[in-house]
Structure 1
Amino acid sequence: MQHPLIIALDFKNLQEVQAFLSPFKGRELFVKVGMELFYKEGPEIIKYLKNEGYQIFLDLKLHDIPNTVKMGMRSLASLGVDLVNVHAAGGRVMMEAALEGLEAGSISGKRPRLIAVTQLTSTSDVMLKSELLIQQSLQETVKSYAVLAQKSGLDGVVCSVLEVPMLREVCGDNFLTVTPGIRLADDAKNDQTRIATPAEARNAGSSMIVVGRSVTSAENPVQKYEEMKKQWDGATV
């Protein structure tokens, strides 16, 4: 596997992606394609990134009735991406259906790894209770969703760095914990509330980290990326 630092390609179109990636030419990267970019460019953006040799996390957070998610995942698997996700809130039957769809649509007998979103990094305890009407704490909700995802056969979850130690206790060391909300100490928080540095993520036990605006909006993206890699690699674990 390439370096477990995933760059979120949160751009409007292919041209912006190409301009951003140009200075990274020749490097092995793991990149994330989210809703904005995929809905604009469709499967062509995946083909382009695969031709460039990048590993791809297709971050569409599927959440629908089980059969719809199954068929959707079957289509996504045929694109040859490396990592995809669903919302754990869709329940066990939906997550199992997603896995079935991936296995049915996979090319060369290798299915993408499947992870579940527990709670978004923009979610707070107040929001959980007052807006989503979930009375359990944020941590208890994340733990419950992660255990359910593991029982459904998924490879891991998307979660906050703050929740990784807890999930290691209940789900073990082989369960993937992919953690967004990664910033350097002097970077802006933007719209995420549960954030951490690369070193903090590694020390907490994160399997992989997702970095976005800290790199994509940097004056020198390559330098910022290397700084984040250095922090991750130099963390005491």
Structure 2
Amino acid sequence: MDAKDRLIVGLDVPTVNDAETVVRELGETVDFYKIGYQLAFAGGLEFARDLAKDGKKIFLDMKLLDIDNTVASAVENIAKMGMTMLTLHAYPKAMRAAVEAARGTDLCLLGVTVLTSMDETDLIDAGYEYDPHTLVLRRAEQARQAGMGGIVCSAEEASAVRKIVGAEMAVVTPGIRPAGADKGDQKRVMTPAEAIRSGASHLVVARPIIRASDRLEAARSILAEIRNAA
């Protein structure tokens, strides 16, 4: 893949106007954007449709989880929106329902394993019996068996996940921080080059670009690092 197909810029901004500014500043340099809860609930879903119509790729980060019929119905409608990627929590029943609903479309379904803001203590507090690494690998195998298009995991787990899911599935890694960048609320992070060398197919980068004084230069720098690491 070209580096432009591997960099996903997270539009983690409060308004559509803010998102439009980011997209305008990045221009043709960036082709792939993530839209999550914050922007989705501020008019971002219509904005996502508009971006898709303009030829941009959209990773809709909704982390779906519900009864099978509800998940399937949501996936069917999201596929009609022209989205490129969609996340759901990597629970086997939900994944199987989503895969069946997306059959025959171009929508790539991604199973979210363990959020990059969570560590072992957080999982224990949430009632899980597994440490993050073990739970990520368990869910990666379940996603592969369900026929999912890819996995979302920390870059720290990308190498081990790649061995489980093989060469064809996407391995999407958030929590990417260039060397020296502030980690923010992320606990399991890597640089772009480290993530690519670990087996990531796509990198989600938000704050290091959208909060940069020169967003275009920040994006170009990360794209160059991706190209050099590939």
TM-score calculated relative to the size of structure 2:
0.94
Fraction of identical pairs, as percent = 32
The list of structure 1 runs, each at least 4 consecutive aligned residues, that deviate by more than 6 angstroms after superposition, is: none
Report the Cα offset of residue 36 of structure 1.
1.2
Determine the C-alpha separation between the residues in 1 that align with 2:41 and 2:100: 24
Residue type of the alignment partner of 1:228: I
Question: What CA deviation, in whole Å up to 9, does each residue of 1:39-78 have, x standing for no partner?
Answer: 2215311222123321110010001111111111111111
Q: Hey, what does 1:201 align to over in structure 2?
A: 195
Residue type of the alignment partner of 1:85: T
Answer yes or no: is the 8 Å Cα contact 2:35–2:44 preserved in 1. no
Determine the C-alpha separation between the residues in 2 that align with 1:53 and 1:28: 11
Does 2:116 align with 1:121? yes
Q: Hey, what does 2:159 align to over in structure 1?
A: 165
Q: Hey, what does 2:43 align to over in structure 1?
A: 41
Q: Hey, what does 2:101 align to over in structure 1?
A: 101
Determine the C-alpha separation between the residues in 2 that align with 1:8 and 1:73: 21
Change in Cα spacing, 1:80 to 1:51, as seen in structure 2 (3 Å) is closer
1:210 to 204, 215, 218: 204
Residue type of the alignment partner of 1:118: T
Answer yes or no: is the 8 Å Cα contact 1:28–1:53 preserved in 2. no
Question: Alignment length, in residue pairs?
Answer: 228
Determine the C-alpha separation between the residues in 1 that align with 2:207 and 2:114: 20
Determine the C-alpha separation between the residues in 2 that align with 1:21 and 1:171: 32
TM-score calculated relative to the size of structure 1:
0.92
Structure with the larger RCO, 1 or 2 (CA within 8 Å, 6+ apart): 2
Report the Cα offset of residue 28 of structure 1.
4.7
Q: What value does the CA root-mean-square deviation take over the aligned residues?
A: 1.4
Does 2:82 align with 1:87? no
1:228 to 214, 222, 227: 222
Question: What CA deviation, in whole Å up to 9, does each residue of 1:76-98 have, x standing for no partner?
Answer: 1110110101001xx32211111
Q: Hey, what does 2:58 align to over in structure 1?
A: 56
Change in Cα spacing, 1:20 to 1:44, as seen in structure 2 (3 Å) is same
Determine the C-alpha separation between the residues in 1 that align with 2:169 and 2:205: 20
**Secondary structure of 1:26's aligned partner:** helix
